[in-house]
Structure 1
Amino acid sequence: MSAYTYAYRGSLLENRHRVSIAIVGPRGALLAYSGNPELVAPLRSTAKPFQALALYLSGAVRRFDLTPAEVALSCASHDGRPEHVALVARYLEKLGLGPEHLVCGAHPPFDPEAREALQRAGKAPGVLHNNCSGKHAGMLATALALGVSPEGYHEAAHPVQQLILQILRELSGHAHIPHAVDGCSVPTFALPLAPVARMFALLAAPEAAPARYQEGLEGVFSAMRQHPELVAGPHSIDTVLMRRVPGLLAKRGADGYYGLALRESRLGPVGVALKVESGSSEAREPMVVRLLEVLGLLSPEVELPWRRPVLRNVRWVPVGHLEARLELNWVR
């Protein structure tokens, strides 16, 4: 069975993006797939809900009395809007730290309005605008809760990253997890799609996880569901889907990765891991929407800009579109 996102320029097929998908239950059973469910790829920002579990295992949530909003921001690829920047700043103040402790680097806000406002003000983006700044604040909180120096918290040998690696090993069932360096300088870990989907299924059904992870899995799920606007932004697919689909947790990652935890699917609680093999994030969104339609969680009547996105040239003239086609292979 196949899943492809097709890019058309006018009526001409220009690109075909193959997508691999795994749908897994909380006990680890593969329920459905398309393409290669064992495809190995770095999780990139799709790993953030699991990196945030370190806040619970280290005791940081209790020590710093972290709010659901701060937990959600720790899981975020936020759009750099003023509310995101302000909350990260307050988060750091709560820790007794400042922006200078973040090693994520700076990039312009993803949100067009926020980006244009910075440009009009003649200001350069700072580290707080980085979409990963909340995650990095969470890693600093974890270091302090562990009683170790936050210096070098982004390095693979640091206790914070070793704790995150332990979390991924235990929840995925994979002892050997290779890593590389992510765009924000922390490790990014590579796993097959099916185990990643299983981890998302545990967010949907924390009671199926080892006891010491259940509070954190529920806390992360609840925080992201309570504050979808902090996870991305009002015009981004993660936020919009979490607002529209009951019991859904959505997390994008760079280079065409996506994760979903679904509490209310017709299959019961399930997790989904999806990867566009070409790395195109532009091709990812139509497939995510199509998958939710196939699973009966999203009506084709709901208007979404990602269902059949328009491609435009530099003069903003429509020149084509993207279209997702999906066939799932049902295992049971």
Structure 2
Amino acid sequence: MSHSASQSSETAPGSTVTRPDLTPGSALTEAPILAYYTRGDLVESVHRASLIALDSTGAVAFQHGGIDSPVYPRSSLKPLQAVAMVRNGLRLAPDLLALVCASHSGEPFHLDGVQRILAGAGLGVEALQNTPSYPLSESELRTWIIEGRPKSSLGQNCSGKHSGMLATCAAKGWDIASYLDPDHPLQQAILETVADLSGETPGPVATDGCGAPVMAISLTGLARAFAAIASADPGTPEGEVAAAIRAYPQFLGGTGRDVTVLIDGTPGLIAKDGAEGVYAAGLDDGRAVALKMAEGGGGVGGGPQRARPVLMAAALRRLGVASSAYEQVETVPVLGHGEPVGAVFAVGV
């Protein structure tokens, strides 16, 4: 007898793991094929995604799949979290504010920036509570391993966000030790800001990979939030965050990262990638895109993540956005024996 996902709360034969009584949302179940992975003369794999694009009036320009079911934005939420921090007293130089929005590569200037944020708040790296990890950058990872350096909270890609959270708590006089508690005043302020910018009540709150609370919103809400931040007036918290991202995209990502390349080559754009195949972008005229790969994916560039920048580039092209970055991000080569034998490219966006 077969069971649907919503009926699978029993324990599988021979297993001690109880399956949760969950049903995937429409962002996953209704996601169409939007990218091909080719090798030679065959389509070797396909990637499904849900995607929404907004025009400058906030109306839906085009959409694919389920755009109204809740998804976890993962690190694409960071610009929204940064707005909440600025609204609550965080004052940083633009490069450091961009770092608060980052999933950084762990390059020396990233780690120096995190320590500058902490020092400005009278804190040290020991205050960080994000999950210890190695840097995302392959070259930095090799260096750390050769030098025998252990995983650390400083090197983990979310340390900029966590240092910003700590600095905000210091500015407001809030408790430092419990800053990751969902009921902490900082996390409640973030929840309120996410609701404000997305125009919807956030869904379930869970724990992100770095240890911080992450709340679910729809792709429509995520696109709406990026439009609001990207088109905000200078001098507002939203405008301050957008200006920092545009001025310092290398702090938001890192050397050679697709998100950094895209922002750097696209006037007026802000963008942020996230784990499990999430990507969001907004322009200064209010246009915006948000997408979610149905298959999720691991870290940056892995599995379905390889199609994520390709789909973003295709969506921005269809919106009429000019960019010098498209040549670098709108296709991903597929290699055979070290040579290109195919590509990942968008279809039907």
TM-score (norm 2): 0.83
Is 2:280–2:289's contact at 8 Å kept on the other side of the alignment?
A: yes
Match of 1:310 among 329, 333, 343: 333
Cα distance in 2 for residues equivalent to 1:12 and 1:103: 47
What does residue 191 of structure 2 align with? Answer: 165
Quick check: 1:287 aligned with 2:311?
yes
Quick check: 1:123 aligned with 2:149?
yes
Q: Secondary structure of the equivalent of 2:47? A: strand
Q: Which structure 2 residues correspond to residues 1-332 of structure 1 after superposition, within 5 A?
A: 4-25=34-55, 28-61=58-91, 66-207=92-233, 215-263=236-284, 268-279=285-296, 280-298=304-322, 303-304=327-328, 306-312=329-335, 316=338, 318=340, 320-327=342-349
Q: Could you report, residue by residue, the CA deviation over 1:146-177 in whole angstroms, capped at 9, with x for unpaired residues?
A: 22111121121111111100111122222342
* Cα gap change, 1:152 to 1:317, in 2 (>3 Å): farther
Cα distance in 1 for residues equivalent to 2:112 and 2:323: 36
Q: Secondary structure of the equivalent of 1:250? A: strand
Cα distance in 2 for residues equivalent to 1:220 and 1:136: 16
Uncovered stretches (5+) of structure 1, i.e. residues with no partner: 208-212, 328-332
Is 1:54–1:142's contact at 8 Å kept on the other side of the alignment?
A: no
Amino acid at match of 2:288: G
Q: Could you report, residue by residue, the CA deviation over 1:257-278 in whole angstroms, capped at 9, with x for unpaired residues?
A: 0010112xxxx42121111111
Alpha-carbon deviation of 1:67? Answer: 0.7
Identity percentage of aligned residues: 36
Q: Secondary structure of the equivalent of 1:185? A: coil
* Cα gap change, 1:33 to 1:214, in 2 (>3 Å): farther
* Cα gap change, 1:27 to 1:190, in 2 (>3 Å): farther
Is 2:52–2:62's contact at 8 Å kept on the other side of the alignment?
A: yes
Alpha-carbon deviation of 1:35? Answer: 2.1
Aligned residues: 312
Cα distance in 2 for residues equivalent to 1:140 and 1:54: 13
Is 1:28–1:195's contact at 8 Å kept on the other side of the alignment?
A: no
Q: Could you report, residue by residue, the CA deviation over 1:226-252 in whole angstroms, capped at 9, with x for unpaired residues?
A: 111100012001111111111111110
Is 1:132–1:184's contact at 8 Å kept on the other side of the alignment?
A: yes
Q: Secondary structure of the equivalent of 2:134? A: coil
Cα distance in 2 for residues equivalent to 1:129 and 1:177: 30
The CA RMSD over aligned residues, in Å, is 2.3
